[in-house]
């Protein structure tokens, strides 16, 4: 299998969010109740809308 890395752009936010949600849910779904999962996911940046998330990312410096 070949793995390709590419730098994410603002156009990639939707796909990145989907991967983040899926990974988070797969990692923690067996450890927490559905109520706790809903409470946790509401607090994470990958549940922001595209514009809000883009603004959040663009204000961060590395």
pLDDT 10s digits, 4-56: 988 888 888 888 878 888 888 889 889 888 888 777 666 554 456 667 767 77
What is the per-residue pLDDT for 45?
46
What is the per-residue pLDDT for 42?
61
DSSP labels, 43-55: TSGGGS-HHHHHH
Distance of CA 24 to the CA centre of its chain: 8
DSSP labels, 5-62: -----GGGHHHHHHHHHHHHHHHHTTTS-HHHHHHHHTTSGGGS-HHHHHHHHHT---
What is the per-residue pLDDT for 62?
58
End-to-end CA distance of the chain: 31
What is the per-residue pLDDT for 2?
94
């Amino acid at each position: 299998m070949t793995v390709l890395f590419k730098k994410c752009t603002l156009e990639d936010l939707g796909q990145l969010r989907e991967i983040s949600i899926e990974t988070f849910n797969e990692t923690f779904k067996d450890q927490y109740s559905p109520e706790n999962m809903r409470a946790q996911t509401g607090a994470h940046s990958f549940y922001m809308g595209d514009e809000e998330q883009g603004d959040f990312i663009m204000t961060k410096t590395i």
